[in-house]
Amino acid sequence: MRNKSVVTEAYQIQIAVELIELGARLQLLQEETALSRERLLKLYKEVKGESPSKGMLPYSTDWFMSWSPNIHSSLFMDIHQFLVTHTSLSGVEVLIKSYRLYLEQISVSGDEAVLSITRAWFLVRFFDAKMLQSTACSECGGHFVVHSNELYVDYICGICRPPSRAGKTSKRNDALGRLVANPAF
């Protein structure tokens, strides 16, 4: 029988609970904690009251390049890199703190979170694997997520130069919602 530290196990459970509350998928929990799959399933059901989602995780760097996901991913990565540089947090702890700060910033702006904790985790892994990087916008100076090993001379971000159809669908849906709620509109 192995000797297990109760403190270490409690810490692993605390991390798993925080990730579950943030909406983490089971695969992320398995990767970031030392708890067994069976233990994580029980914990997930206890915290969420339901079984975890099944299916493959989203695995593509291209998702982070479209307009809205790029802006949200860039905000998250700026927060993440700031915390890595200026705190003693690392690994899953900095992921959780960065994601909480991202959610806080999004709620202050009145926007909806586009980036899930699972996508944020993949984003960090893509940066660590040097598949994605950050580059500065030549107009606003902000740093944005881009593919690695491509030339970005005079890069202009999606905020400074949004695509022609950016945000059209939500405005259209809002207008339709007002129309349905108030037909005299």
Is residue 99 over pLDDT 50?
yes
Task: Give yes or no: residues 81 and 164 share one domain.
Answer: yes
Encode pLDDT of 122-133 as tens digits: 999 999 999 999
Is residue 18 over pLDDT 90?
yes
Could you give phi then psi for residue 136, rounded to 5 degrees? -85, 140
Asked whether residue 181 is domain-assigned, the answer is no
Is residue 183 over pLDDT 80?
no
Task: Give yes or no: residues 133 and 164 share one domain.
Answer: yes
Asked whether residue 175 is domain-assigned, the answer is no
Asked whether residue 119 is domain-assigned, the answer is yes
Look at phi and psi of residue 127 and say left if phi exceeds 0, alpha if psi is from -120 to 50, else beta.
alpha
Q: Centre a 10 Å sphere on the Cβ of residue 165 and count the other Cβ atoms it contains.
A: 8
Is residue 121 over pLDDT 70?
yes
Q: What's the confidence (pLDDT) of residue 116?
A: 94
Helices (H) and strands (E) in the chain, counts: 7, 2
The overall average pLDDT reported for the chain is: 87
Encode pLDDT of 150-159 as tens digits: 888 899 999 9
Containing structural domain, residue 125: 62-170
Asked whether residue 27 is domain-assigned, the answer is yes
Q: How confident is the model at residue 173 (pLDDT cuts 50, 70, 90)?
A: very low
pTM of the model: 0.83
Task: Give yes or no: residues 39 and 110 share one domain.
Answer: no
Asked whether residue 12 is domain-assigned, the answer is yes
Looking at residues 99-119, what average pLDDT do you find?
93
Provide the number of structural domains found in the chain: 2
How far is CA 47 from its chain centroid? 20
Q: By C-alpha distance, which of 116, 108, 110 is closest to 174? A: 110
Looking at residues 73-97, what average pLDDT do you find?
96
Any long-range contacts for 146-149 (C-beta under 8 Å, 24+ apart)? 146/65, 147/61, 147/65
What are the b/e assignments for 35-74, b being 16+ CB within 10 Å? beeebbeebbeeeeeeebeeeeeeeebeebbeebbbbbbb
Q: What's the confidence (pLDDT) of residue 150?
A: 85
Provide the residue count of the chain. 185
